[in-house]
Structure 1
Amino acid sequence: MTTSRLKNLALGTLVLGSLVAFSSCDTNGSKGSETARLQIALTDDPGDYKEVWIDVKEIRFNMTEADDQNWAPLPGVQAGMYNLLDLVNDKDTVLADAQIPSGKLGQLRLVLGDNNYIITNRGEKLMLTTPSAQQSGLKLNIHQAVVGGIINKLTLDFDVAKSIVEAGNSGKYILKPVIRTVLTAVGGNIKGFVLPDSVQTAVLAIQGTDTIASTYTSAGGYSIRGIDAGTYSLHYIPVDTLFKKYVKDGVTVNLGQVTTIDTVRLQK
């Protein structure tokens, strides 16, 4: 979508959703620190099977160090069947995209259902038993901070070769998941203030001719969250056409950081 078209949309409507492209925006900068966006992705190291299917039912999270209390279901989990061998060579899939309290994420529990199985290279389907994950869930220790204003991406790296164990010579296989967790920051945040604060203003973050993200001011404040690191032009477009548009070039966004812009004063 071109810059000129988005400017016209900004002047003609107050519907933010039509302006946002792959971003998370917050019209009140003070709220950004209360919650953190947690995105959980699943990936895999190759194993000597044709297919490995796991039955994801739920993910629970704990913002404390206590093992026996304070657990809560993670919202937005994409429950279902996942073939881990579709997720090799740096591919992943998003299991959840949720808002949780910012702070230190203590632990997760990955809860699996009963329908876990492998397809061998000979085409045989062999069911997997998962005693621990079927009950309270497989506990994953995180013990890292999740930060407001950015996307916190937690990758669950499933090691198939170590996770599937043959039970003696019985021909039965047990799923004992070995998962490495990697928490990284994705994108950064821009926030600032526009005067007069009584004039609602569209704020667009633009690279070249592409509008990457946008929002509107609320009582003068604005925040654009979770955009890629890089350099942007910020275009300020007042809804009240008595005020002039304003452009601020060279705004740098750094990974996992908040870029605070000097107060913009609109002119007539």
Structure 2
Amino acid sequence: MQKYRLLGLASAALLGLASCSKNSSESAGSAKLEVRLTDTPGNFSAVVLDVQQVEVHLKDENDPSGWQTLAFTPQAVNVLDYVNGKSALLVNTDFAPGDLKEIRLILGPNSYVVGTDNQRYDLKTPSGQTSGVKLKLDKVTLQANATYQLLLDFDVAKSIVERGNWRAGNDKKERYLLKPVIRLVAQNLQGGLSGTANPAAARPQVLAIRSTILGPDTVSTFADASGAFQLRGLAAGTYQVQFFPTTTAPAGQSAYKNVGVPNITVTTNQVTSLGVTQLQ
């Protein structure tokens, strides 16, 4: 797993935001570039990013002539609309074969969050409004007559930070800062896990953990109100799936419990179903 902490701007979330139009003229020998955004839920009612521009870099890191702007309609997008297997298609375009080095996202001044108190708070994104936020890509090579998909997994819970000096009623200080944490998954990593947690009222966090030579590779999400969950963009391998309830059982019922399910096999291009996992 690759995790990128982009300081300053809402780099990752940005991506998830707007959708790019597909070029109708397809030239022979060209590649296809597709960028999708998905999201790991956080404790907010809405997280809206004002995405203005998406660019890719095609040359060496310090070569300013390498940036290419993608066809893109600026728009505000609520990234919390894209959880549990849903993804926003940001870019779907013909592209010349070759290497991609970086993606750069430009945010406008109108990003904000809505808290669980139903109050709107401006989202501080200082550096991204001017120079943009860069996300480096490793070994991303577009080949002729092939489609390359980049899945950007934006972690809301880790990316939005409350200011330590914020106090209720102090409207001179922004309450939240955006410090995006993004997991980047390439096209050939298209395995997945799905299932249902019972009872749904437990609203568990679901972690899929794969052992690698670099240490545990962990991907997480939350079950929705029906108990359903889905994790996409997983590398093939053997996982342990862990469930951690985030609520307590009503009085008179058995307590919700943490559950671990070992030895779950994920294969490329297939979603493995865990069925129903009992948490009580």
Relative to the length of structure 2, the TM-score reads: 0.53
Of 64, 80, 92, which residue of structure 2 is paired with 1:69?
64
Q: Against the structure 1 CA distance between its residues 37 and 67, is the aligned structure 2 distance closer, same or farther, given a 3 Å change threshold?
A: same
- Look up the match of 2:177: 174
- Report if aligned partners of 1:108, 1:142 keep a CA contact under 8 Å in 2: yes
Report whether the alignment pairs 1:160 with 2:163: no
1:151 has 2:147 as partner: yes
Give structure 1 stretches of 5+ with no counterpart. 1-21, 187-254, 256-268
Question: In the TM superposition, what is the alpha-carbon distance from 1:98 to its structure 2 partner?
Answer: 2.0
Q: Distance in 1 between matches of 2:66 and 2:133?
A: 13
Contact 1:78 1:96 in 2 (8 A): no
Give the deviation of 1:46 after TM superposition: 0.6
Runs of 4+ in 1 over 3 A off after TM superposition: none
CA contact (8 A) 1:126 1:173 kept: yes
Within the alignment, does 1:139 sit opposite 2:138 as a pair?
no
Q: Which amino acid aligns with 1:149?
A: N
RMSD over equivalenced CA pairs, Å:
2.6
Give the greater-gyration-radius structure (CA). Answer: 1
In the TM superposition, residue 68 of structure 1 has moved relative to its aligned partner by: 4.7
- Write out aligned runs for 1:170-249 (5 A): 170-171=166-167, 172-184=175-187
Aligned residue among 118, 137, 147 for 1:123: 118
Aligned-partner Cα distance in 1 for 2:130–2:181:
17
After superposition, the C-alpha distances for 1:193-244 in whole angstroms (9 at most, x for unaligned) are xxxxxxxxxxxxxxxxxxxxxxxxxxxxxxxxxxxxxxxxxxxxxxxxxxxx
Q: Secondary structure at the match of 2:94?
A: strand
Q: In 2 relative to 1, CA 25–137 (structure 1 residues): closer, same or farther, beyond 3 Å? A: closer
- Unaligned runs of 5+ residues in structure 2 are 1-21, 168-174, 190-268, 270-280
Q: Is the 8 A contact 2:53 2:106 kept in 1?
A: yes
SS of residue in 2 equivalent to 1:49: coil
Residue 51 (1) aligns with residue 54 (2):
no
The reply on whether 1:91 has 2:86 as its aligned counterpart is yes
Q: CA deviation at 1:185?
A: 5.2
Q: Give the C-alpha shift of residue 99 in structure 1.
A: 2.4
- TM (normalized to structure 1)? 0.55
167 and 128 in structure 1: CA distance in 2 versus 1, 3 angstrom threshold: same
Identity %: 37
Flag the 1:68–1:136 CA change in 2: closer, same or farther, 3 A: farther
